[in-house]
Amino acid sequence: MTVRPPSAIRRLSPSARLLGVLALSPILGLTACSSSRRADAGLAMPQNHLITQDRSANGGDDQIGKSGVNAYLWRGAIDTLSFMPFASADAIGGVILTDWYTPPATKNERFKITAYVLSRNLRSDALRVSVFRQAFTDGQWVDTPVAPNTVSDITTRILTRARQLRADNGGGK
């Protein structure tokens, strides 16, 4: 059996037909994704556990997977540093690296933060924060020291947020 396109489609130029196929391909792709054929073929449906499960709030478990990282500290650090762009964030290793951030009020300085979650315990010594500051001087960025209380202020905010998350999860002690 030969299937022929309707006469209106046959009259279209090849490039116009290609545009039509390209326009329909996202719709067809979405339809294929929702098909139950994957389950019938024995393939597991992909799941994004980061979206479907809040690992900081699954029955009071304060650990991420089998790592040595406290989930409340991790989430507290992510929430606290979310105003900065992230260069990388490794939940299993407990490392958050931000990219350079220039505050809107001061265009001649920028900051970068590294946060390490070092333990399964929700304690102040389970968190290490480093703050880097650069000032724009003579046409180049120059490393400069941060204010003495900057690191302790950020650490305190992360710890406060982590304790709030634990209390919200029913794990307040």
Specify the pLDDT at position 145: 95
- Euclidean distance between CA atoms 72 and 158, whole angstroms: 9
Q: What is the pLDDT of residues 45-102, one digit of tens each?
A: 544 444 444 444 433 345 555 557 899 999 999 999 999 999 999 998 999 999 999 9
With H, G, I as helix, E, B as strand and everything else as coil, classify residue 80.
Answer: helix
> Which CATH number describes the domain made up of 71-166?
3.30.530
Q: Residue 127 in contact with residue 73, Cβ under 8 Å?
A: yes
Residue 160 to residue 80: CA distance in whole angstroms: 10
Of 8-12, 62-66, 144-148, the range with the lowest mean pLDDT is 8-12
More confidently predicted of 30 and 145 = 145
Tell me how far CA of residue 131 lies from CA of 17, 103, 142, 146, 154, in angstroms: 56, 14, 14, 7, 9
- Please report, for the chain, the start and end positions of each structural domain, with discontinuous segments joined by +: 71-166
Higher pLDDT, 10 or 137: 137
Q: How far apart are CA 71 and CA 141, in angstroms?
A: 35
**pLDDT tier at 173 (50, 70, 90 boundaries)?**
low
pLDDT at residue 50 in the model: 40
Predicted local distance difference test score (pLDDT) of residue 68: 73
Check residue 5 and give its pLDDT.
Answer: 52
- Which pLDDT does position 170 carry in this prediction? 75
Enter the pTM of the model. Answer: 0.61
Q: How confident is the model at residue 40 (pLDDT cuts 50, 70, 90)?
A: low
φ and ψ at 112, to 5 degrees?
Answer: -140, 140
Return the pLDDT at 43.
56
Predicted pLDDT of residue 22 = 37
